[in-house]
Amino acid sequence: MARPGFFLPKILKSNAHQGEQPILSCADPKTLESLHWLACYLTTGKHMAFYSSFGTVLLLLAVTAPAALAFGFGGAMAARSGFAPLRWCGKGYTAIVRGVPDIAFFLFFVIALDQGFEWLRHKVKCPDWDMPVRQGSDFVVCDAAKMPLSSSPQWVHESYGFAIAVLTFAIVFGAFAANVLYGAMGTVPRAQIETAEAYGLSHRQTFWRILVPQMWVFALPGLGNLWMILIKATPLLFLLGVEDIVYWARELGSSKTAVFDFPHPDWRLYYFLTLLVFYLALTRVSEVVLSRVNMRLSHGQATVAGDAQRRAA
């Protein structure tokens, strides 16, 4: 990637929303009454982009959570493997994220992944390129290997940025999920496994039919915590250069002079208060849902909670 600062939000700023006329009769905002003015102000094209960026955050959560779970499951399986190098890989994967601030990982992986992809494409597409890829402070690959191609439209660039962000989130949170799942697999009562073996189930069958269905209830508190942390990590999208809610809150809230259609002083505080309320609501809803799921999963389990349900029924 030979575009320094590509991931800084200001470069990514799209021009798509400028010049759009707000709906309602907002043709000349300077003449409007206060309430009507507010209604017009809150429905400008930029505000619509702001509202849809809430969707971006939810989309990130919806895509990242299963991806991280898959990474975590793979990591936990590798860490339990009987084949030593694979086991070291699994353990190393979970260990490496500990002890280092995750924001460093977010900043690191975005550049590292991007350069990694471009380097791989460079090797495949331009085998007869004779200059070194790293020239001093520059990272130079042939034009055909650029990700995405410099000729591709704006939305490809934006979705590539988003995809890199999702992958980064999945790798980092996958390590934590691997840790949780590894612990949960070890917590399933030994007797359950022994019973399965006594019935003549193979190793693979024991794993998929006995261990995996039973481990979720042990993994749930940890995964629930992880979900909460994932929610609270989403504002970091802003650092990864995606136009998310933090980007729009800063953009829309900053003071606007009379040159703009809707001049106002510095309102960033109110925009950030909105974000705060959004996140508080999201955590509250998650708490309620998680406690429901926990109840559901405890059903019929050989645990205290499961026993309590049996007695109540």
Partner 1 sequence: MSCTQTIEDYALRSIGIGERLLPRSDFTLCEQVVLIGSGLIWNVYFGLLALGFGFILAVSVAMAKAAPAAWVRKPAEWFIFVFRGSPLFIQFFLFYETFVLLPKIGIDLNLGFAEITIETRWLTRAWAGALIVLFLNTSAYAGEIFHGALRSIPRGDMEAGDAYGFTGWHKFRKITFPTMLRLAWPAYTNEAIFLFHATTLVYFSGFPAWQQKGDALYYASYFADKTFNPFVPYPILAGYFILLTLAVILIFGLVNARLNRHLPQDRRQKLRVRPQVIR
In 3D space, the residue among 179, 165, 168 whose CA is nearest the CA of residue 74 turns out to be 179
Per CB under 8 A, 251 contacts partner 1:
no
- Among 232, 292, 296, 310, contact with partner 1 (rule: CB under 8 A): 232
How many residues of this chain bind partner 1 (CB under 8 A)?
Answer: 49
**Residue 156 forms beta bridges with which residues?**
none
Is residue 131 a contact point for partner 1 (CB under 8 A)? no
Q: What's the CA gap between 172 and 21, in Å, rounded?
A: 41
Among 26, 166, 236, 297, binds partner 1 (CB under 8 A): 236
CB 291 within 8 A of CB 283: no
Binder among 45, 148, 235, 306 for partner 1 (CB under 8 A):
235
Query: How many residues comprise the chain?
Result: 313
**Cβ-based neighbours of 232, under 8 Å, separated by 6 or more:** 279, 283
Task: Answer yes or no whether residue 139 interacts with partner 1 by CB under 8 A.
Answer: yes
Residue 234 touching partner 1 (CB under 8 A):
yes
CA distances for 177 relative to 68, 72, 219, 226, angstroms: 7, 5, 9, 7
Only one of the segments 73-81, 195-203, 242-250, 299-307 lies at the binding site for partner 1 (rule: CB under 8 A); that segment is 242-250
Footprint (CB under 8 A) of partner 1, residues 12-51:
none
The only residue of 99, 127, 132, 200 in contact with partner 1, by rule CB under 8 A: 99
Residue 119: CA atoms inside 13 Å, Cβ hemisphere, count?
10
**Residue choice 10, 34, 35, 104 for contact with partner 1 (CB under 8 A):** 104
Q: Decide whether 102 or 261 has the Cβ nearer to partner 1.
A: 102
As a whole number of Å, the end-to-end CA separation of the chain is 62
The distance of closest approach from Cβ of residue 7 to partner 1 in the complex, given in angstroms and rounded to an integer, is 10
Q: Which of 11, 124, 269, 302 binds partner 1 (CB under 8 A)?
A: 269
Burial of 37 (0-12, 13-18, 19+ CB in 10 A): middle
Residue 209 binding partner 1, by CB under 8 A = no
Q: Other CB atoms closer than 10 Å to residue 171's CB: what's the count?
A: 18
By CB under 8 A, name the one of 187, 192, 205, 283 that touches partner 1.
283
83: alpha, beta or left, given left = phi > 0 and alpha = psi -120 to 50?
beta
Q: Say how far apart CA 193 and CA 29 lie, in whole Å.
A: 71
Cβ proximity to partner 1, 180 vs 210, nearer residue: 180
Q: Does 176 bind partner 1 (CB under 8 A)?
A: yes
Name residues contacting partner 1, limited to 153-172 (CB under 8 A). 172
Residues at the interface with partner 1 (CB under 8 A): 4-5, 97-104, 107-108, 111-112, 115, 134, 137-139, 172-173, 176, 179, 225-226, 229, 231-236, 238-239, 246, 249-250, 253, 266, 268-269, 272-273, 275-276, 279-280, 283-284
